[in-house]
Amino acid sequence: MNVLLIGGGGREHALAWKIAQSSLLDELYIAPGNPGTVRHGRNVQLDLDDPKALRRFLLEKRIRIVVVGPEAPLVDGLHDRIAADPQLKEVTVIGPRAQGARLEGSKDFAKEFMFRHNIPTAAHRTFVKGQLQDALDHLDRVNAPYVIKADGLAAGKGVVITNDKKEAARTLREMLQQGRFGEAGERVVIEQHLKGVECSAFLITDGDSFKMLPAAKDYKRIGRGDTGPNTGGMGAVSPVPFADKDFMQKVHDRIAAPTVRGLKKDGIPYSGFIFMGLMNVHGDPYVIEYNVRLGDPETQAILPRLKSDLLDLFEGIATGTLSERHVDVDDRTTVCIVLAADGYPGEYEKGSVISGADMVRDAYVFQAGTAREGDALTTNGGRVMAVTGMGKDLESAIASAYRSAAVISYADKYMRDDIGHDLVKQPAQRGAFR
Ligand code: AMP
Ligand code: GLY
């Protein structure tokens, strides 16, 4: 069958790599893809906002499955537009319709959903424009740290956590009164602060049944020891030692199952992935957020561990037979290290020539912010690529990932040198990796 994959980051390179291994695949197209995805399929330029062009492409290329990597097209209703087109009846979209995508697109919607279905999450109150005084009064009734979230998509920047009540009040004013984050901040959620360690769990569903995928830990901060500003993710480890069998059973029973059941009960058809951002609070999982897609860079850590054919799972979604498919997972550990451009998540240079990416032999290299200039591969984004090492245990996976990451070089290369170290009982030797 022919597949169209939407997106162009490291997550999509990993998806393209995995889909290309399927015996069920005929042609894979990636829109827009990146210089890494061309090894696994054909990169195409496609304007997703032009329904005619999209329809023409899907028909002409006889696409059966559309896999949507990022959330924005889903929140925008891409799935709905395809589903509403009688000529595209044969096309299955991996990713929810706009209604289901609100699990990620609206914090308030997600909170109400969890409340309705008894899914453990931090207590919250929602305030809308015009309720600034109520929101400020609420701050007096709760304890620090204050967790304030813009309701809508804000590119990961819509969350403020602070011990300072004045800063919390200022944030509320900025969001509810001064229009910071625009529409996304016209509705604000104030949450109870949860203390614990975070991890990411994933499931795939056809709306009826679901399968758990491997869990991962993401390293969101730019600096060693989880310091400095938040990023899209600087590394990932799978599996997560503290997310043991007992914990993952709780995730399955208390979160994954009621989430899929809840969607069905609410009449929200859902096909695709659900990413459960979790806090492990003394061994009990709480949902911090839902995403309606896979994570980046978690995908680059979990797909190398997935032994099953991903396209077989997608076919299970297309035919409503996911319950009959199997998810087999490699017991080994993966460690993914993101190679960034110095300055990211702030300003950074583009256009440096990258060398060594082809010399990596015993790890996976997934490209993200790269470009092809003639024969040269150059940097073209904040997160340039990800290197995933695999090993029988965490220590050997860390060693493998860093050994391979060291082979790749470009001006302004930056990576965290401590990915996975917090999870090793005896931290590995730290060096200056550049
Ligand atoms: P979100 O965009 O909702 O994932 O929030 C971004 C980050 O803020 C999360 O990854 C957590 O590290 C942190 N966070 C969000 N909500 C809470 C909470 N209720 N308690 C503690 N930390 C939180
Ligand atoms: N790595 C976090 C995310 O993909 O949202």
Ligand 1-lining residues (CB < 6 angstroms) = 122, 147, 149, 159, 161, 191-194, 198, 277, 288-289
The pick from 12, 213, 218, 219 for probing ligand 2's pocket by mutation, whose C-beta has the most ligand atoms within 8 angstroms, reads 218
Residue 309 Cβ inside 6 Å of ligand 2? The answer reads no
Conformation bin of residue 207: beta by default, left when phi > 0, alpha when psi is -120 to 50: left
pLDDT at site 184:
65
| Residue of the CA atom closest to atom 7 of ligand 1 | 159
Calpha distance 51→160 (Å, rounded): 37
Which CATH code, of 3.10.20.30, 1.10.1500.10, 3.30.1490.20, 2.40.50.100, is assigned to 124-191?
Answer: 3.30.1490.20
Conformation bin of residue 153: beta by default, left when phi > 0, alpha when psi is -120 to 50: beta
> What spacing in Å lies between the alpha carbon of 412 and ligand 2's midpoint?
23
> What spacing in Å lies between the alpha carbon of 40 and ligand 2's midpoint?
23
197-324 adopts what CATH topology? D-amino Acid Aminotransferase; Chain A, domain 1 (3.30.470)
* 82-100 residues labelled b (16+ CB within 10 A) or e (exposed): beeeeebeebbbbbbbebb
Closest ligand to residue 198's CA: 1
The pick from 71, 124, 159, 286 for probing ligand 1's pocket by mutation, whose C-beta has the most ligand atoms within 8 angstroms, reads 159
Helix (H) or strand (E) holding 339: strand 333-341
Query: What atom in ligand 2 is closest to the CA of residue 233?
Result: 1
Q: Which residues contact 155 (CB under 8 A, 6 or more apart)?
A: none
| Residue of the CA atom closest to atom 6 of ligand 1 | 159
Tokens coding 246: 């007992």
Find out if CATH 3.40.50.20 is the number for domain 2-97: yes
- Burial of residue 410 (number of CB atoms within 10 Å: 0-12, 13-18, 19+): buried
pLDDT at site 186:
79
Amino acid at 245: K
pLDDT tens across the length of the chain (434 residues): 999 999 999 999 999 999 999 999 999 999 999 999 999 999 999 999 899 999 999 999 999 999 999 999 999 999 999 999 999 999 999 999 999 999 998 888 999 999 999 999 999 988 988 889 889 999 999 988 999 988 877 666 688 899 999 999 999 998 888 877 777 667 898 999 999 999 999 999 999 999 999 999 999 999 999 999 989 999 999 999 999 999 999 999 999 999 999 999 999 999 999 999 999 999 999 999 999 999 999 999 999 999 999 999 999 999 999 999 999 999 999 999 999 999 999 999 999 999 999 999 999 999 999 999 999 999 999 999 999 999 999 999 999 999 999 999 999 999 999 999 999 975 444 444 44
Q: Give 249-280 as a 3 state SS string.
A: HHHHHHHHHHHHHHHHHCCCCCCEEEEEEEEE
pLDDT at site 166:
93
Q: Which residues contact 429 (CB under 8 A, 6 or more apart)?
A: none
> What spacing in Å lies between the alpha carbon of 288 and ligand 1's midpoint?
6
> What spacing in Å lies between the alpha carbon of 70 and ligand 2's midpoint?
10
Summarize the chain as % helix, strand, coil (round to 5): 30, 30, 40
Q: Which residues contact 431 (CB under 8 A, 6 or more apart)?
A: 417
Question: What residue ranges do the domains of the chain occupy?
Answer: 2-97, 124-191, 197-324, 333-424
pLDDT at site 434:
42
> What spacing in Å lies between the alpha carbon of 193 and ligand 1's midpoint?
8
Query: What is the model's pTM?
Result: 0.94
Residue 291 Cβ inside 6 Å of ligand 2? The answer reads yes
Closest CA to 204 of 278, 259, 262, 245: 259
> What spacing in Å lies between the alpha carbon of 232 and ligand 2's midpoint?
6
Which CATH code, of 3.90.600.10, 3.40.50.300, 3.30.565.10, 3.30.420.40, is assigned to 333-424?
Answer: 3.90.600.10
Contact 192, 147 (CB under 8 A): yes
Closest ligand to residue 121's CA: 1
> What spacing in Å lies between the alpha carbon of 384 and ligand 2's midpoint?
16
Query: What atom in ligand 1 is closest to the CA of residue 122?
Result: 19
The pick from 291, 299, 302, 336 for probing ligand 2's pocket by mutation, whose C-beta has the most ligand atoms within 8 angstroms, reads 291
pLDDT at site 158:
81
Closest ligand to residue 230's CA: 1
